[in-house]
Chain A
């Protein structure tokens, strides 16, 4: 029995279990049991993975297994993980777990909500454990479509518009991606769909790479909020219900960065190094433009959504630098941003659930009304702007240090430009914190509001612990990731 396949089987088993539930309490029981199992499984996987590495097992992928599926077309269900996927699985488990608590009181149709939520997590887990082009693509799309109903039915604001926009843009991205995948498969001689075997052959003609690298990169880049394909993100995040925002910004957007690194660049290294400059410019725009847009927003979720655009842009920016430090920083940033944003969206959702507004002009002095949530917000904010001691600092530090390693004018210049986002981030975070948390409460209605309930406190505490743990003791996770990025880069440029 392969351990990784459990990551797919557990959520799949949860689906019929949820369908059979009659009461809300049963639905919650299934969700808590399932997500706890997944969390424990990924924690165990992490420990086991590190001990395997310490024992001197230096294979690129561990726990590999492959079950032939469509043999005629060389499609197999292949699984395997390296340090990067382990980190991503851990992140997913934490977010799925806390997301369950963040949507503890979701109404109406709790059962249906969790059904689609679980289907989404099947897609995400499947994507991170697979090493086969077809199955990766299949899980990728599986993760996208539940978003439509999750936002459309349970969202707020102009939810129908946002849900449709998000789904169509992401599906448009995956149309590009499918082109890229077919290009890779046929370019490499149509003998295997396994990404490591394709990478080992390294026989895709350069002319083919020039066509299909941009398609694949843009395909994933749409999900990674690459400028100018990021416009779905603010609307989508703003309309989504709390736990969906968490899962989406926290995990789903990471699928984009992960795919760019693992498929686009890994399999087409020649085109990646030749065409990187185009995408570096685009991502630099993402980073700075996202941060600047966040300044001018007054809706809490929009601020955070644009901040996500900026931070996810930084992920793509860093992997394009193609140095080991920068790529490690990119994955760290994915991890750290996933946790921070989830925390942010969770707290915003909780505040919105009480005040029924997300407009920062209408809130004031929340620190006195709901101190727990307010403190959580401050922590999330500080982590987001990269305060030492939190995960954001570790990640951004590594990214910029790695980016500066590339020794030429172009890369140095864009790095310096991207660095300005740190300052801009501080501006929009501190402005909001000062505006809504401090001062005297003005709105009489708001004074009657209560602080966080137990399930909300639990969500926040879990996430804060994770953010702080990476910030205080970053070495174990960064060496875990460096192991993966090192292998990928070594394969790309032997």
Chain B
């Protein structure tokens, strides 16, 4: 065996090195070194982003089990950057009494999920894919239950792990059928042997269910609201953006690489789940009082919009999807950073009413929150408008006109509930005003990055251009 191959997987290898360094550092550091722990992790995740980007060539390893190309590398870099933002925002929470002693565990678990996602993206073999997905899910359950002394967090962890395992089992069941009909687990060989017989359609449905759970599409979304609400806010942010982004990308790859002969079948499945996700999540989101729960439903509906890019299965669609994930990441991270800051100060869950009169005490945070919400709702000139437009354009170009129309009507509904928060912050007056919120310096850095992203990602067309030039999968 040629061991040099391992070193060709530069993103994974650098990630593992960082992982080991952090693991050892956690064991040996005391006193002053301990205080440097968090900055060290921040810098190394940022470094990871750049290391990931260094090698954009196309190659396959291990007889075609592993593939890397420019698009995959770019997506990995987005995930790494999102992890960087997450770590930045986790600063204060990690130093609090209940978590400071397991600070290192948080980083290690976080990076384990990232390793899993890296393998999910690069896998060209169902075994590797499944290992990647499991590696991304199991530590995630620990992260969700990280505040184990809080009843909510533990409950959320249990919910996550049970539904996650159930979804994995279904997916594995589907994969076994595929193996049974084609006799191979390699993506490339499989697509040549797939004929679209009923048993393969069954396998497709099972696979889709498993991955749909990770993306939290309706009707596989049941865990989302509870887990999002119970998990520590930083973990929620990670769960809603990074984990989802990786899953969508993986789905896109598998649909194109494996299920290409069954395009009309999976398009129909996505068609229905997209409409269901967008519509149901929008209707549910209107009723929510707790902001984190609200963001859970908002993220389900955003997942539906991302699926509009997947459904066409075109290169344009892939560009639109990566761009959408990036834009969605900065907006969502900004909102969660603000929620985290507020929760930290007031020591209870943030409801919509809590935000009443937020403007008077915190004009700057309110403005950032407003811009982020507008970006999520797709209001120009913020980045969300562009990403939504491109997603619609790719689905429309692929001929799904009615679907686009339904999604467009839903953007109006989503605007309604995003505006409810804006209304609470600007217009409603509070009986009990929030104090001036002090964010930690790390959170402020992450907010600055997010707000720059919200404003510039759309106006600077070069970002989209870069993604568009990455080439096909």
Binding site for B on A (CB under 8 A): 69-73, 75, 112, 134, 138-139, 141-142, 145, 148-149, 152-153, 159-160, 164, 167-168, 171-172, 175-176, 178-179, 182-183, 185-186, 190
* A contact residues around B409 at 8 Å (CB): 172, 175
Whether the Cβ atoms of B419 and A73 lie closer than 8 Å is no
* A contact residues around B422 at 8 Å (CB): 148-149
Whether the Cβ atoms of B389 and A145 lie closer than 8 Å is no
Nearest A residue to B407 via CB reads A175
* B contact residues around A171 at 8 Å (CB): 411-412, 415
Q: How far is the CA of A112 from the CA of B367 in the complex (A)?
A: 10
With contacts A72-B468, A164-B419, A190-B397 taken as known, whether A138 is within 8 angstroms of B381 at the C-beta atoms is yes
Q: 9 tightest A-B contacts by CB?
A: A175-B408, A138-B380, A182-B396, A142-B380, A152-B427, A172-B412, A72-B468, A70-B461, A145-B379
Q: How far is the CB of A78 from chain B (nearest CB, A)?
A: 14
CB < 8 Å A-B pair total: 75
Q: Does B392 contact A (CB under 8 A)?
A: yes
* B contact residues around A172 at 8 Å (CB): 409, 412
Whether the Cβ atoms of A164 and B393 lie closer than 8 Å is no
Q: How far is the CA of A176 from the CA of B396 in the complex (A)?
A: 14
* A contact residues around B363 at 8 Å (CB): 112
Q: How far is the CB of A132 from chain B (nearest CB, A)?
A: 13
Q: Does B305 contact A (CB under 8 A)?
A: no
Q: Does B336 contact A (CB under 8 A)?
A: no
Q: How far is the CA of A182 from the CA of B390 in the complex (A)?
A: 11
- What are 28 inter-chain pairs, A to B, with CB distance below 8 A? A72-B319, A72-B468, A73-B390, A75-B461, A141-B379, A141-B385, A142-B379, A145-B374, A149-B426, A152-B427, A159-B427, A160-B423, A164-B416, A164-B423, A167-B415, A171-B412, A171-B415, A172-B409, A175-B408, A175-B411, A175-B412, A178-B408, A179-B408, A182-B393, A182-B396, A182-B404, A183-B401, A186-B397
Q: Does B464 contact A (CB under 8 A)?
A: yes
Interface bracket on B: 20 to 34
Q: How far is the CB of A225 from chain B (nearest CB, A)?
A: 18
* A contact residues around B390 at 8 Å (CB): 73
Q: How far is the CB of B329 from chain A (nearest CB, A)?
A: 20
Q: How far is the CB of A482 from chain B (nearest CB, A)?
A: 33
* A contact residues around B427 at 8 Å (CB): 152-153, 159-160
* A contact residues around B423 at 8 Å (CB): 152, 160, 164
Whether the Cβ atoms of B461 and A69 lie closer than 8 Å is yes
* A contact residues around B385 at 8 Å (CB): 138, 141
Which of A139, A148, A153, A185 lies in contact with B419, CB distance below 8 A? A148
Q: How far is the CA of A336 from the CA of B319 in the complex (A)?
A: 46
* A contact residues around B416 at 8 Å (CB): 164, 168
Known A148-B422, A179-B401; 5 more pairs at CB < 8 Å: A71-B465, A72-B468, A73-B390, A160-B423, A178-B389
Query: What are the interface flags for B420-456 relative to A under an 8 Å C-beta threshold, 1 for contact and 0 otherwise?
Result: 0011001100000000000000000000000000000
Q: How far is the CB of A321 from chain B (nearest CB, A)?
A: 30
Whether the Cβ atoms of A168 and B415 lie closer than 8 Å is yes
Which of A70, A152, A179 lies in contact with B464, CB distance below 8 A? A70
Q: How far is the CA of A185 from the CA of B401 in the complex (A)?
A: 13
* A contact residues around B465 at 8 Å (CB): 70-72
Q: Determine the main DSSP class of B at the interface with A.
A: helix
Whether the Cβ atoms of A142 and B404 lie closer than 8 Å is no
* B contact residues around A164 at 8 Å (CB): 416, 419, 423
Binding site for A on B (CB under 8 A): 316, 319, 363, 374, 379-381, 385, 389-390, 392-393, 396-397, 401, 404-405, 408-409, 411-412, 415-416, 419, 422-423, 426-427, 461, 464-465, 468
Q: How far is the CB of A280 from chain B (nearest CB, A)?
A: 26
Whether the Cβ atoms of A141 and B397 lie closer than 8 Å is no
* A contact residues around B319 at 8 Å (CB): 72
Whether the Cβ atoms of A168 and B412 lie closer than 8 Å is yes
With contacts A164-B419, A168-B415 taken as known, whether A186 is within 8 angstroms of B381 at the C-beta atoms is no
* B contact residues around A168 at 8 Å (CB): 412, 415-416
Q: How far is the CB of A183 from chain B (nearest CB, A)?
A: 8
* B contact residues around A139 at 8 Å (CB): 380
Q: How far is the CA of A164 from the CA of B428 in the complex (A)?
A: 14
* B contact residues around A176 at 8 Å (CB): 408
Q: How far is the CA of A186 from the CA of B394 in the complex (A)?
A: 11
Q: How far is the CB of B118 from chain A (nearest CB, A)?
A: 28
Nearest B residue to A178 via CB reads B408
Q: How far is the CB of A269 from chain B (nearest CB, A)?
A: 22
Q: How far is the CA of A167 from the CA of B393 in the complex (A)?
A: 24
Nearest B residue to A215 via CB reads B405
* B contact residues around A134 at 8 Å (CB): 389
Which of B374, B405, B412 lies in contact with A179, CB distance below 8 A? B405
* B contact residues around A182 at 8 Å (CB): 392-393, 396, 404
* A contact residues around B411 at 8 Å (CB): 171, 175
Q: How far is the CB of A411 from chain B (nearest CB, A)?
A: 33
* A contact residues around B393 at 8 Å (CB): 73, 182, 185
Whether the Cβ atoms of B380 and A141 lie closer than 8 Å is yes
Q: How far is the CA of A60 from the CA of B464 in the complex (A)?
A: 33
With contacts A138-B380, A141-B385 taken as known, whether A153 is within 8 angstroms of B412 at the C-beta atoms is no
Nearest B residue to A76 via CB reads B461
Q: How far is the CA of A216 from the CA of B397 in the complex (A)?
A: 18
Q: How far is the CB of A111 from chain B (nearest CB, A)?
A: 10
Nearest B residue to A75 via CB reads B461
Q: How far is the CA of A149 from the CA of B428 in the complex (A)?
A: 12
Nearest A residue to B381 via CB reads A142
Which of B392, B408, B419, B461 lies in contact with A167, CB distance below 8 A? B419
Q: How far is the CB of B8 from chain A (nearest CB, A)?
A: 31
* B contact residues around A142 at 8 Å (CB): 379-381
* B contact residues around A178 at 8 Å (CB): 389, 392, 408
* A contact residues around B412 at 8 Å (CB): 168, 171-172, 175
* B contact residues around A73 at 8 Å (CB): 390, 393
Q: How far is the CB of B264 from chain A (nearest CB, A)?
A: 21
Nearest B residue to A111 via CB reads B363
Q: How far is the CB of B459 from chain A (nearest CB, A)?
A: 9
* B contact residues around A153 at 8 Å (CB): 426-427
Q: How far is the CA of A183 from the CA of B399 in the complex (A)?
A: 11
* A contact residues around B374 at 8 Å (CB): 145
* A contact residues around B468 at 8 Å (CB): 72
Q: How far is the CB of B412 from chain A (nearest CB, A)?
A: 5
* B contact residues around A190 at 8 Å (CB): 397
Q: How far is the CA of A172 from the CA of B408 in the complex (A)?
A: 8
Q: How far is the CB of B322 from chain A (nearest CB, A)?
A: 13
Nearest A residue to B366 via CB reads A112
* B contact residues around A167 at 8 Å (CB): 415, 419
* B contact residues around A70 at 8 Å (CB): 461, 464-465
Which of A75, A138, A152 lies in contact with B426, CB distance below 8 A? A152
Nearest B residue to A138 via CB reads B380
Q: How far is the CA of A117 from the CA of B380 in the complex (A)?
A: 15
Q: How far is the CB of A431 from chain B (nearest CB, A)?
A: 35
Q: How far is the CB of B278 from chain A (nearest CB, A)?
A: 13
Nearest A residue to B395 via CB reads A182
Q: How far is the CA of A148 from the CA of B426 in the complex (A)?
A: 11
Which of A75, A160, A175, A186 lies in contact with B396, CB distance below 8 A? A186
Q: How far is the CB of A31 from chain B (nearest CB, A)?
A: 19
Q: How far is the CA of A204 from the CA of B423 in the complex (A)?
A: 42
* B contact residues around A159 at 8 Å (CB): 427
Q: How far is the CA of A172 from the CA of B409 in the complex (A)?
A: 7
* A contact residues around B464 at 8 Å (CB): 70, 72
* B contact residues around A185 at 8 Å (CB): 393
Q: How far is the CA of A148 from the CA of B427 in the complex (A)?
A: 10
Q: How far is the CA of A73 from the CA of B387 in the complex (A)?
A: 13
Whether the Cβ atoms of B380 and A179 lie closer than 8 Å is no
Q: How far is the CA of A142 from the CA of B386 in the complex (A)?
A: 12
